[in-house]
Structure 1
Amino acid sequence: MRTEITDLAALRAHREAGKDLRNTVLTRLDLTQEDDLLRTALDGAVLLGCELSSKSRSRAEAAGALLFPAIPDLPYQVYRTHLYSTDELFAGFDPARPESYADTPDARIYRHSKQQGRQPDPLYALAERLHDHSVTAALTETLARCATGPVAVMGGHALARDSSGYRGAMELGAALGRAGFTVLTGGGPGAMEAVPYGVRMPDHIDEIIRDVACAPRFGAGADDIGRWLAAGLRPAFPASELPQTIGIPTWFYGHEPPNPACSLHAKYFANSVREDGLLTVATGGVVYTPGSAGTVQEVFQDYAQNHYSSVGPAAPMVFLGKDFWTNDVPAAPLVQQLARGRDAEQWISVTDDVDEAVALLRTYASTT
């Protein structure tokens, strides 16, 4: 297992302990004035986006280290060491000037990605894949700090902030937060935003809805998104040492802005990596609220993992909204039929009761 070092203090401590740099990964370090730190065995070392003097670069290459250079002219960092915060994605946004959303890193990265089309320049394609790998590593490290397996909530992006469904999603989030779960969503608008608000501020649902309902939906232009974002930034979240909610959005659907309610965002370029990854890391189970084709796709991706135990033991699948999931979009009966007689069967629930849904998740958490 390689040791990853992401700051100079950690590198100095590593070297002062008498350790060499074989099979280490150094990420985004400015080593131009640190030649002495590299005067050691370097075979098998990997340097990602590090700055080196010409002498150190020649020595590292001769010693067998692999050097991945920084890639110029990109609006994002390829070699990330942490997830995105709301402040980072929306840096430079001025709520008094909704059009300023167009100048945020989130908007600029989306434009850059969209310009690549279906066949991106090979350099940019490689950069996006390296970025997504870094995000996955940061997400894995973040989730390792959770006391229980995180729970994901899936649902539609179209829920308006002033709708009863949005309030219901907030109440679901509040119940999950009170139960102590770290909650994952797709990171976008609608249910994906309402749930994190509830998780983080369970006793302030009415106040939040008053704050955000003045911009009930996001629109297509920067001005419309900016007004939606400005309203969403009004609630003041309490500080927390651990991330209570993590959004996992994608620039593939970059016209849908990431919501400002999540503690952190693991934002990807590749939607396929993002979708499969979201379901894979939700080891505490998944709650399905009413949604459209994307949510239905996630249902069967999730069940396939449970059916074949491809990522571990079968985890809960909770269909919240009995009439929707059995009549309007009858995915639940098919999943139940497929699970009959298998380990997954006991962890499938179709209910209208949030407390019942949370109770199943808590029971599962106590067995793992």
Structure 2
Amino acid sequence: MANDGEAVRPRSPQAAARRRGPILLRGARTHGIGTTDQHLLDGRGPSDWVHTDPWRVLRIQSEFVEGFGALAEVPRAVAVFGSARTTDESPEYRTGQELGAALAEAGFAVITGGGPGAMAAANRGACEAGGYSIGLGIELPFEQGLNEWVDLGINFRYFFARKTMFVKYAQAFVCLPGGFGTLDELFEALTLVQTRKITRFPIVLLGSNYWSGLVDWLRETVVATGKASASDLELLTVTDSIEEVVELVTMAAAARDDTRAGTEDRW
């Protein structure tokens, strides 16, 4: 309600929007509310946490329940990561689109972060090829939203719940050129495989010009100074070939299926 004498300004239908998990907000109430992750991790009140943080567990639990429920019947899938800043006219966008189509034609669903740029390119390629296109969105201080090429979309409040879904339901990670978010997903996957917290699966860097500097640094600095083993670099595949990506993913999926079949036979 406006103060006395203050003119009421109607909100435009095109006003900037914010999402808090499944909730959509527009207008003045979107300012200063922060994100759910921020409220959870930045809380510094002397005693409020006793009354609020335990209840957040229920919201966290609901994100896992909703995610597991929505994705439980998804066919074998590949997670594709890349920059939201990739433009529609760039070669990287075309590569993402071709990758999404090739994975769909090979029988894989494509899972992305659901945003624009490289993510939209992979979702679009899968969608136009008749495949299953999935987007796992995240609440951010700036609106991103799910791109129009997503068949199944879920908006998450918490990064850690969303990242669990990528690892649980993808049989491979493919990274197109990207920024901190892509690097975050890449190194989490590497850490989980290196420490054997999850079964090894393909982790592919698509675009040698972009990724070769990172791999060189890992080899010449991290491995050379004993911070990692030379064998750890074998967890990564760098390529410019979409055909090689599909071949690696298909072979790994077949090997996993054979392993599961052998386990079931023993029982």
Query: TM-score, normalization: structure 2?
Result: 0.71
- Residue of structure 2 in register with 1:183 after alignment: 110
User: Could you say which structure has the higher strand fraction?
Assistant: 2
Deviations 1:321-351 (A, max 9, x none): 01211126757758x9646446x83x53210
- Residue of structure 1 in register with 2:236 after alignment: 348
- Residue of structure 2 in register with 1:286 after alignment: 173
Q: How does 1:288-303 map to 2 (within 5 A)?
A: 288-303=175-190
Q: Distance in 1 between matches of 2:114 and 2:135?
A: 4
Deviation at 1:253, TM superposition (A): 4.6
The answer to whether the aligner puts 1:114 opposite 2:34 as a matched pair is: yes
Q: Distance in 2 between matches of 1:181 and 1:339?
A: 32
Q: Match of 1:305, SS?
A: helix
- Residue of structure 2 in register with 1:197 after alignment: 124
Deviations 1:136-166 (A, max 9, x none): 2232234332343x21011111012232221
Q: Match of 2:79, SS?
A: strand
- Residue of structure 2 in register with 1:230 after alignment: none
Deviation at 1:98, TM superposition (A): 5.9
Q: Which stretch shifts more, 112-121 or 261-270?
A: 112-121
The one-letter code of the counterpart of 1:324 is Y
2:92 to 150, 162, 165: 165
TM-aligned CA distance change 1:309 to 1:267, over 3 Å:
same
Query: TM-score, normalization: structure 1?
Result: 0.53
Q: Distance in 1 between matches of 2:207 and 2:153?
A: 27
Identity %: 27
Contact 1:252 1:271 (C-alpha < 8 Å) held by counterparts: no
Q: Match of 1:309, SS?
A: coil
Contact 2:71 2:169 (C-alpha < 8 Å) held by counterparts: no
Deviations 1:243-302 (A, max 9, x none): x12211211355222222211222211223323x14422441100110112211221111
Contact 1:102 1:108 (C-alpha < 8 Å) held by counterparts: yes
2:62 to 116, 123, 134: 134
The one-letter code of the counterpart of 1:259 is N
1:143 to 71, 78, 85: 71
- Residue of structure 2 in register with 1:245 after alignment: 133
Deviation at 1:189, TM superposition (A): 1.2
- Residue of structure 2 in register with 1:99 after alignment: 14
Q: Distance in 2 between matches of 1:290 and 1:333?
A: 19
Q: Match of 1:314, SS?
A: coil
The one-letter code of the counterpart of 2:135 is G
TM-aligned CA distance change 1:165 to 1:332, over 3 Å:
farther
Higher relative contact order (CA 8 A, sep 6+): 2
Q: How does 1:255-334 map to 2 (within 5 A)?
A: 255-275=143-163, 277-311=164-198, 313-327=199-213, 330=216, 333=219
The one-letter code of the counterpart of 1:360 is L
Deviation at 1:185, TM superposition (A): 0.8
In the alignment, structure 2 segments of 5+ residues that lack a partner are 1-11, 257-267
